[in-house]
Amino acid sequence: MNQKFRYLFMLVALLFLQGAIAQTITGKVTDESGVALPGANVIEEGTTNGTTTDFDGNYSIEVSEGATLQFSMIGYSEKSVVVGGQTTINVSLAEGTQLDEVVVTALGIKRAEKTLAYAQQTVGGEELTSSRDVNFVNSISGKAAGVEIRKSSSGPGGSTKIQIRGSKSLSGDSSPLFVIDGIPMVNNRGSQPGVWDGVDQGDGLSQLNPDDIESMSILKGANAAILYGSQGANGVVVITTKSGKAGTMVVKVNSGITFESIIALPELQYRYGSEGGTKESWSTTKGDYDSSYVDDWFDTGANYFNSVSVSGGNDKTQAYFSYANTTASGITPGNEYGKNNVSFKQSTKLFNDKVKITSNVILAQEKTDNRNRAGYYNNPLTGLYWFPRDKNINDYRGDNYRVFNTDRNTYEQNWFVIDHHQTNPYWLLNEESQEDETKRVIGSLNLDYTITEKLSFQIRGNVDYAVKKYETKRNSGGNTTTVAANGNWIYEKYDDTSTYLDGILSYTNNFGDFSLTALGGATYQHTNYGNGVGLYPGAAQDQLLYANEFYFENLTDVIQVQSNLNNGKTSTVEKQSLFGNVTLGFKEMLFLDIAGRNDWASTLALTGNDSYFYPSLGLTAILSEMFELGDAISFAKIRGTYAKIGNEVPYNTIFPRHTINADGSVGFNTTKPFLDAKPEIITTSEVGFDVRFFNSRLGVDFTYYSINSQDQFITINEPIEDYTSYFVNAGEITNKGVEITLTGKPIVTEDLTWSTAVNYSNNNNNIVKLHPDVETINQGGSEGFRYTLVEGGSISDLYAYKFLRDDEGRILLDDVTGRPRKTELRELFGNAEPDYAIGWSNTINYKKWALNMQINGKFGGYTVSQTEALFDGNGVSERSAAARDRGYENINAVQNGVAVTQIDPFDYYDAVGGRNGITEAHIYDRTSIRLAQLSLSYNFNVEKVDWLKNASLSFIGNNLFFFYKDAPYDPELSQSTGRSEPGSDNYNLPSTRTYGLNLSLTF
């Protein structure tokens, strides 16, 4: 019913709007001397309706009654004009002030972009919402150089990996800090799946409403983030939310629907079945078997987006209110997602505008049912894909998915084999359920006091509170390897609380040719994570007294489960800080920036190293102000920075805690307390330039950076005193790279404009040293491959079993069996991270039409697929069937000194397939080029509709198709957004595309 209402509403609105007639405004835009300005932007305020001037500075635009036009161009000041009864509006723009464009930096402080000594990029709110991705963070991909985005394969509500300028830690996370309106937010990522099993539990960032976001500024280096301390060591993403504006009340409504469909299923065969009652499909006799059941399993997903916002106010008080609802159905049956958001923001000026009070409340509720699993166990895709081709799936689905066990008076799965790798997918659908829910409130209060014209003080407070529940119920009778006789119950319920407070004193003044901006302040932050209860039984552990009764009273008397009530999973961290920043300018052409911060961290308490200071230094020179560079160069600056930042050790390392066992005994910690711990030190430097040509029609921004991370936190698994392991500060990592952003407006006419931007980045990671007692560190992987950290290597280096070859590169076959031989040990194959990435953004405006397109490419790097390996081992891959069709598999090999060019299909695929086969056969180039986003919008004429200011309809699409990829799956669809599986596919969901419509109305 809701869907029909949405469709009817959109149809009626469109039919009504078609007949409206707009008011046409024409004119010319010039500089102060009367010279025409081609490419100037002319936008109807509060709408997406706009145009640009042609080569003679002329423009024509249709606007609604009562409209206000905004005229802007890089290098010139912006000007607003109320249309009124005018039909011709000529405007002259003053030079200079647009180069002082203000951007949001650390602590929410606004600074002129030209004064910044470090690289930063801003993504506008419209860019985050134009594609209507359920997790809006995915929309950043390709729009900022040096920022890696990797999407989870878990479906709606899944987490997103964000990493800026490479991995900086041997053992910790390299995710950036996220900040809302100047205040750090908690972005805890839930548990992540491993190779064998698991579910992605999402992250905190996806809980926000993207329609509330004004802009997102990405501060890439430690220089930019130093005022946030160690939290900003991996970069900072500063989110600025929308605020109310003085003037008449504005109501905005967005309603959209997108559909999600699979781009391509795995290439499976359906003509060879099993043989001799085996579970594998390795028969050599062809048959005509059903090929529809895999496709039948998947659904077409549907995502609904609805939001409304109200804003307005007067010169004293402004307010903004919004509500948003997102619902989604995934491509697998039973997978449902829902999110509700409410926000309210108000600013009030008091005491002759000397005091400004701003309050902001954000409420979010997010719920997901039956997230898609990854890994071998309890994953419906293994049983679905491996099902022997000669068997009838109808014998195991519908009412046949289970049988009644009269001895136990319970049901159990009906499946053709007992195998720990696979379970009847329809049993999992009906008898195993998973649910997680998060309720969150973020409240903040800011007070700004203008003491004098040059001196001001600001104090801010924030509380971020979230309650999370995760529950999995597995009925008895399923896979006996992973489910106990009476079933399994996994249950978590806990809360996270973060409290933040800061005070900042700011001073600005000019002294002749010199300008001074200085600030100093203090922060206090207290976080309490994981306060609650959790039940985590072993896979086949007896946990429940009675089968399939999931409540606390049904737990066994002695339950060997980890309990937060006993073992105190809660972690409490406190940090206090002092910081300062001084920017000294000379004639608006030279800027020196000096900053410093001192932290006192509770995680380093009693070590003598809990207080640590780190500085930064930056220098910017505006060459276009210092020298005559010719008319072709509109703006040019060079910049350079140096910074050192500290990062404390993880919680609970100074004094690792003991535990209380279920029987009341004490489990003593076996890791030696780290009483001489010291913070990790990250040193960064970067240089760059920003040059714009031809009245900013063309721009180049270049950055080279070098990051050195020392005194890494490492665990040594060797006995010492009465302990089995201990911690050390050791190791060194470097990241060096280049970021280039090219911007341009190739076409500028009265009716047609084309704006384009290309972002390029590469990063070279190097593990300079580990520790004398540590040869390798295992990052993740499975039997056939490992991501292994080795001195002289790189983070995410992929080690795998290879074909054993002779000096001519021929595969060596076993002298007796004739099967391919593999290397004795896993050997370095390459690195999982891409060599470089390119994002190409395009915006084309033609009259009232707007086309936005994003093409993303990742080049180089390697990805490994256990999915494909197990396809081969089970004989269900199309390539294994094609080899049986031929009667052989082609090979360049040698046996007993004799060249071999053909091999028996089973001998080959059984050797390379499975969990521990010759993994080299299933490692692929990670390179992919895709049409990542596409939107086509039309702005309707609404002049005759008094109560309507703007209306637009958009066709939107995401991940529509690949121009090129080598892997037989999407290499950017991640099994885990954690650090353990950076480039592996282990029964991930197939890659999908989304497409649909979005209607936007402004009243």
Query: Are the C-beta atoms of 487 and 473 separated by less than 8 Å?
Result: yes
Q: At what angle do helices 905-912 and 866-874 cross, to 10 degrees?
A: 150
Q: Would you place residue 75 in the very low, low, confident or very high pLDDT band (cuts 50, 70, 90)?
A: low
| Separation CA 210–CA 87 (nearest Å) | 37
pLDDT tens digit string along 595-650?
999 999 988 888 888 899 989 999 999 999 999 998 899 999 999 999 998 887 77
- What's the rounded Cα separation, in Å, for the pair 166 and 182? 24
- pLDDT mean over 906-929: 96
Encode pLDDT of 165-223 as tens digits.
999 888 777 888 899 988 888 877 666 666 667 777 788 888 999 999 999 989 887 77
Q: What is the pLDDT of residue 65?
A: 72
- Whether 54 shows a pLDDT value over 90: the answer reads no
pLDDT at 345: 96
Output the pLDDT for position 358. Answer: 96
CB neighbour list of residue 569: distance below 8 Å, 6 or more residues apart = 494, 530, 532, 534, 562
Of the candidates 172, 166, 188, the one whose C-alpha atom is nearest the C-alpha of residue 715 is: 172
pLDDT for res 724: 86
The 10 Å CB-count burial string (b at 16+, else e) for 457-483 is ebebbbebbbbbbbbbbbbbbbbbebb
Write out pLDDT tens, residues 119-139.
Answer: 889 898 888 888 888 888 889
In the block, which residue shows the tokens 């892997």?
967
Q: What is the pLDDT of residues 947-998, one digit of tens each?
A: 888 899 999 999 999 999 999 999 998 877 777 778 788 888 999 999 999 9
Please tell me the predicted confidence (pLDDT) of residue 539.
62
Distance CA 885, CA 900 (A): 19
So what's the pLDDT on residue 823?
96
Angle between helices 866-874 and 878-886 (to 10 degrees): 40
> CA-CA distances (angstroms) from residue 763 to 161, 705, 736, 878, 918?
17, 9, 6, 37, 30
pLDDT at 21 over 50: no
Give the number of other CB atoms < 10 A from CB of residue 606: 12
Q: Where are the domains of the chain?
A: 20-96, 114-265+276-378+432-484+491-796+832-861+926-1002
**pLDDT number for residue 17:** 41
* 401, 406, 410, 415: CA torsion to nearest 10: -30
Q: Tell me, what amino acid is at 600?
A: W
- Average pLDDT, integer, range 42-62: 79
- In degrees rounded to 5, what are phi and psi of residue 743? -125, 150
Share of the chain above pLDDT 70, in %: 92
Amino acid 74: pLDDT = 65
Fold designation for 20-96:
Immunoglobulin-like (2.60.40)
Higher model confidence: residue 227 or residue 473? 473
Strand 797-800 relative to strand 811-812, pairing: unpaired
Mean residue pLDDT across the chain = 88
* Res. 569 pLDDT band, cuts 50 70 90: low
In this prediction, residue 658 has a pLDDT band, given cuts at 50, 70 and 90, of: low
Among 372-376, 566-570, 691-695, which stretch is predicted with the lowest mean pLDDT? 566-570
Backbone angles phi, psi at 565, to 5 degrees: -65, -35
Instruction: Determine the pLDDT at residue 20.
Output: 37
- Distance, CA of 344 to chain centre: 26
Compare 192 and 4 and report the one with higher pLDDT.
192
How would you list the strands of the sheet with 811-812, edge to edge? Answer: 811-812, 889-895, 898-903
User: Rounded distance, CA 493 to CA 143, Å?
Assistant: 37
Instruction: Write down the pLDDT at residue 97.
Output: 40
CA distances 450 to 355, 455, 731, Å, are: 6, 6, 48
Across 715-719, average pLDDT: 86
Rg (CA), the chain: 30
pLDDT exceeds 90 at position 834:
yes
Segment 517-541 shows an average pLDDT of 82
Band of pLDDT at residue 750, cut at 50, 70 and 90: confident
Q: How is residue 776 written in tokens? A: 């390798």
Q: What is the per-residue burial (b if ≥16 Cβ within 10 Å, else e) of 381-400?
A: bbbbbbbbbbeebeebbeee
Contact 224, 122 (CB under 8 A): no
Nearest alpha carbon to residue 493 among 437, 444, 452: 437
State the pLDDT at residue 8: 39
Structure tokens at 806: 């002779």
pLDDT at 277: 79
Q: What is the pTM of this model?
A: 0.88
DSSP string, 89-115: --EEE-BSGGGG-EEE-GGG-EEEGGG
DSSP character for 544? B
Residue 161: pLDDT over 50: yes
Supply φ then ψ for residue 181, to 5 degrees. 50, 45
Amino acid occupying residue 790: V
Residue 942 — pLDDT band, cuts 50, 70, 90? confident
Residue 594: the pLDDT is 95
Q: Is the pLDDT score of 920 beyond 90?
A: yes
Query: Which residues, other chains included, contact 898 with Cβ-Cβ below 8 Å and sequence gap of 6+?
Result: none
Class of domain 114-265+276-378+432-484+491-796+832-861+926-1002: mainly beta
Q: What secondary structure does DSSP assign to 801-832, as a single string?
A: --B-B-TTSPEEBPTTT-PBPB-SS-EEEEES
**Cα–Cα distance, 720 to 700 (Å, whole number):** 56
Higher pLDDT, residue 604 or 286: 286
In the chain, pLDDT over 90 holds for what percent of residues? 58
Question: The tokens of 147 are what?
Answer: 């920022």
Beta strand 50-52 with 402-405: parallel, antiparallel or unpaired? unpaired
Query: Which DSSP letter does residue 399 get?
Result: G
In sequence order, which residues have a C-beta less than 8 Å from that of residue 630 and are 6 or more positions away? none
Q: What is the largest CA-CA distance in the chain?
A: 96
Q: What is the pLDDT of residue 785?
A: 92
Q: Could you tell me where the beta strands, DSSP code E, fall in 726-806?
A: 726-748, 752-769, 776-781, 785-790, 797-800
Strand partners, 703: 688, 739
The mean pLDDT of 820-842, rounded to a whole number, is 96
The string of pLDDT tens digits covering residues 414-464 is: 999 888 788 999 999 999 999 999 999 999 999 999 999 999 999 999 999
Indicate whether 107 pLDDT > 90. no
pLDDT higher than threshold 50 for residue 95: yes
Q: What is the mean pLDDT of residues 275-297?
A: 92
Per-residue pLDDT, 76? 74
The pair of structure tokens assigned to 902 is: 């053909």
Q: Per-residue pLDDT averaged across 772-779, rounded? A: 88
The region of weakest confidence among 18-22, 402-406, 551-555, 572-576 is 18-22
pLDDT digits 0-9 by tens, 233-264: 888 899 999 999 888 899 999 999 999 999 99
| pLDDT exceeds cutoff 70 at 568 | no
